Structure 1
Amino acid sequence: MSHFKDQSAGYLVNHLARLMEQALAEAIGPLGLSPGQFPTLLALWERDGRTQAELVREVDVEQATLALTLKRMERDGLIRRKPNPDDSRSRLIYLTPHAKALEERALALAAGVNDSALADLDDKEVPHFLSLAARMIQTLRKGSD
């Protein structure tokens, strides 16, 4: 890597994210899942029955990107949409029984990818790294408000 690459948080985080996405794809692919679906699944496993607008905010993606992801997830039998009783202009997104049944295995496989990526860090470095990454995310979220 050039000196700039070594010193660029953006480059390093992006490179790390690409490598982790590849590893996650290999791990969860046999379940019929893709890394692009994973943030939405995590949000719905945490709290099912969200609107698309809520998911856009939670997952930090553009509305059009999420719309395509949801369309594929619906095609793949992972979600279903129901009318929102509180707002006739929106629909609530729910996991199918199939998607709910995948949660435990998918999370275990993702944890394995995380464990592999963090394997060379010691017990103090792991929480420090995670804390720093979370702070960076919060900082960038504040900047886009």
Structure 2
Amino acid sequence: MNKNQAFPWDHPRFRSWIGVARACQLMQQAVTRAIADLGIKPPHLDILVNLYRFQGISQQELARKLLVGRSNMSMLLPQLEKRGLIERNPDAKDKRVLRLSLTAEGRALTEQAMTIQTGLIERIMSQTPEDRCLQVAEAMEDIIRILQTLETADDEEEG
């Protein structure tokens, strides 16, 4: 870094990015504490909520939605299956594909966890006016689109 160049933390966009990252980290910690009594952690909750929304999704599709590798899935899914919260069944057309679904117990636990998570989000976000919350959401959606475009461009360059 040369003497004329500003430090990253002096840049307003860097400050904004660090603020988002810290908020995510602190929220993750708050969610972890809030759902601890249910015997699940945020990665489990991510899986359960996605299965609640997309019943019958494949393991590969779920990993893609959660932006994680198959190795992460292969560690977490057996834990949920062993607890009787999810089922993995072969696809009717392609036996190599496993379809995931919630059991009745998994559905009930997911609903409890979503209620806790939603309550926590509401408690935190209600202290900020709705229009500012929407501005943050729009900014983050823009960033997601930009990052996805960059990822696609990088993939095309490599391929």
When normalised by structure 2's length, the TM-score is 0.79
**1:123 aligns to 2:127 (yes or no):** no
**1:98 aligns to 2:102 (yes or no):** no
1:25 maps to 32
**1:68 aligns to 2:48 (yes or no):** no
Structure 2: gaps of 5 or more residues: 1-6, 153-159
> How many residues are treated as equivalent by the alignment?
144
How many angstroms apart in 2 are the aligned matches of 1:43 and 1:60?
12
Q: Which moved more, 1:49-58 or 1:69-78?
A: 69-78
1:4 maps to 9
* CA deviation map 1:37-96 (0-9, x unaligned): 122112111121111111012111122112212122222322111111121111111111
Q: Which moved more, 1:43-52 or 1:6-15?
A: 6-15
How many angstroms apart in 2 are the aligned matches of 1:97 and 1:61?
26
How many angstroms apart in 1 are the aligned matches of 2:142 and 2:25?
20
Query: Is residue 45–residue 110 contact of structure 2 (8 Å, CA) maintained in 1?
Result: no
- Are residues 134 and 41 of structure 1, via their aligned partners in 2, closer, same or farther at CA, if it must alter by over 3 Å? farther
Q: Secondary structure at the match of 1:36?
A: helix
Q: Secondary structure at the match of 1:121?
A: coil
Name the aligned partner's letter for residue 23 of structure 1.
A
Q: Secondary structure at the match of 1:50?
A: coil
Superposed, which structure 2 residues align to 1:12-91 within 5 Å? Answer: 12-91=19-98
How many angstroms apart in 1 are the aligned matches of 2:13 and 2:123?
24
Q: Secondary structure at the match of 1:80?
A: strand
Give aligned-pair identity as a percent. 25
Q: Secondary structure at the match of 2:75?
A: helix
How many angstroms apart in 1 are the aligned matches of 2:139 and 2:51?
25
Q: Which moved more, 1:96-105 or 1:47-56?
A: 96-105
Q: CA deviation at 1:141?
A: 2.4
Q: CA deviation at 1:10?
A: 4.2
The structure with the larger Rg is 2
Instruction: Please report the RMSD computed on the Cα atoms of aligned residues, expressed in angstroms.
Output: 2.1
Name the aligned partner's letter for residue 116 of structure 1.
R
How many angstroms apart in 1 are the aligned matches of 2:13 and 2:45?
29
Structure 1: gaps of 5 or more residues: none
